[in-house]
């Protein structure tokens, strides 16, 4: 069959026909345990009845108005996120990349409004990934995503992950507007920033008048057992935060959270979006937040995350020839492998387990947040069986 889709993807040959909860079913009826969730997107599982009802009810009422008009669901969701976080304002987008672009604009506009238009610098960290737009690939520190798209744009620079001395020097740059960091790196190898480093970074940014932007597109939305990962660390609140993926439960939706000070340079007409914050997305976004803020939800996420970490640590202990480390936090976890994990991902799919990969030879697990401890044990058992098969084939 010919394919008219721009050839930038390398999809699996499996074709999925439907999904329910933490499982998907291919066009031949085979079931798969989904431990990648559309890359940390389907946070409440496939076809969650609460989300299906919210979307269907709204679809039968009103689809789109644009931001020429007030959207009651948008105003409600903005206030709810403000009440639950550090922020004074929320701005809704269609994707994570758009949220990153907006954060960069707000940061630069802030310094411009304070009489420092030269402060356009955005500092990021080795291994970071901040989307596929031109701004996103320049903000990110992975050269492979910029190749062929021209030289790195002015103001963007990166330093090694975890290099405290480099950070102390880089943050003194007179043109620096903001530091941009993922509290848990996704594409870079599912690496969590230590709590004390997030707090230290917050303090450094405050000291030097630099805005702090958290990219919680992948690690936010409840994935590590709180609404946003930085909420585990007292005194580490950002000035701006980019969110997407899990906050929409599978419906395209992103968000920027901002303090009043960080947003003080924004005025009518300086930013906007046609589709962001529309009735359909806001209906689903409110429903997702209803579920996540329900009694016991995050406690269950934390409990299951503990079971998953234990299972992954046991794999590391049993197969030291294959597994070098267990990385990440909550239900965003990685197995850092000795060898390239892409062939392993295919073998696990053959066994009915869907996982992802990331940088630094990492096998990435990011199941829906409604996953159970039994689901986790099943997934660990499938990986165990595959590792045992690999060891047998290697003659060990």
Q: Is 308 exposed, middle or buried (0-12, 13-18, 19+ CB in 10 A)?
A: buried
CA atoms of 157 and 125, how far apart (whole Å) = 8
CA atoms of 83 and 96, how far apart (whole Å) = 22
| Catalytic residue selected from 34, 92, 125, 215 | 215
Nearest to 111 by CA among 263, 227, 314, 255: 263
Contacts for 139-147: CB closer than 8 Å, 24+ residues apart: 139/100, 139/104, 139/180, 142/187, 142/188, 142/359
* DSSP β-bridge partners for residue 254: 93
Q: Are 32 and 25 in contact (CB under 8 A)?
A: yes
Task: Detail the DSSP E strand segments found in the chain.
Answer: 16-20, 23-26, 31-34, 89-93, 121-125, 156-159, 176-181, 184-185, 191-192, 211-215, 240-243, 254-258, 323-329, 332-337, 353-354, 356-358, 362-365
Q: Residue 215 catalytic?
A: yes
Q: Residue 129 catalytic?
A: yes
Q: Residue 163 catalytic?
A: no
* DSSP β-bridge partners for residue 358: 362
Give me the numbers of helices (H) and strands (E) for the chain, helices first please.
11, 17
Nearest to 122 by CA among 141, 139, 105, 103: 139
Q: In the numeric block, which tokens belong to residue 358? A: 């990331």
CA atoms of 17 and 134, how far apart (whole Å) = 34
Q: What is the largest CA-CA distance in the chain?
A: 68
| Catalytic residue selected from 86, 161, 245, 298 | 245
| Catalytic residue selected from 129, 228, 298, 387 | 129
* DSSP β-bridge partners for residue 335: 326, 363
Indicate which residues carry an active-site annotation: 129, 215, 245
């Amino acid at each position: 069959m010919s394919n008219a889709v721009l050839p930038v993807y390398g999809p699996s040959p499996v074709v999925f026909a439907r999904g329910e909860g933490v499982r998907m079913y291919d066009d031949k009826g085979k079931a798969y345990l989904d431990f990648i969730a559309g890359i940390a997107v389907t946070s409440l599982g496939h076809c969650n009845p609460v989300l299906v009802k919210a979307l269907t009810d709204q679809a039968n009422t009103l689809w789109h108005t644009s931001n020429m008009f007030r959207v009651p669901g948008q105003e409600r969701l903005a206030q709810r996120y403000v009440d639950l976080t550090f922020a004074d304002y929320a701005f809704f987008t269609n994707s994570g990349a758009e949220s990153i672009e907006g954060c960069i604009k707000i940061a630069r506009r802030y310094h411009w409004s304070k009489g420092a238009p030269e402060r356009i610098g955005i500092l990021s960290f080795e291994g970071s990934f901040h989307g596929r737009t031109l701004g996103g690939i320049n903000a990110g520190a992975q050269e492979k995503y910029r190749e062929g798209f021209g030289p790195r744009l002015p103001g963007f620079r990166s330093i090694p992950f975890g290099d405290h001395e480099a950070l102390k020097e880089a943050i003194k740059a007179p043109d620096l507007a903001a530091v941009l960091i993922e509290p848990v790196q996704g594409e870079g190898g599912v690496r969590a920033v230590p709590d004390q480093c997030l707090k230290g970074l917050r303090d450094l940014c405050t000291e030097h008048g630099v805005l702090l932007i958290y990219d919680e597109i992948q690690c936010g939305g409840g994935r590590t057992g709180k609404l946003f990962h930085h909420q585990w660390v007292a005194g580490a609140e950002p000035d701006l935060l980019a969110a997407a993926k899990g906050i929409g439960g599978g419906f395209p939706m992103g968000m920027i959270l901002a303090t009043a000070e960080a947003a003080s340079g924004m005025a009518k007409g300086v930013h906007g979006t046609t589709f962001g914050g529309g009735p359909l997305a806001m209906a689903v976004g409110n429903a997702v937040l209803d579920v996540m803020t329900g009694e016991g939800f995050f406690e269950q996420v934390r409990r299951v995350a503990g079971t998953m970490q234990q299972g992954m640590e046991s794999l590391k202990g049993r197969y030291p020839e294959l597994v070098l480390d267990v990385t990440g936090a909550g239900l965003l976890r990685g197995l850092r492998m000795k060898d390239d994990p892409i062939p392993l991902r295919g073998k696990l799919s053959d066994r009915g387990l869907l996982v992802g990969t990331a940088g630094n030879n990492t096998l990435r697990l990011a199941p829906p947040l409604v996953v159970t401890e039994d689901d986790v044990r099943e997934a660990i058992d499938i990986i165990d069986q595959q590792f045992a098969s690999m060891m047998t084939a290697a003659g060990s």
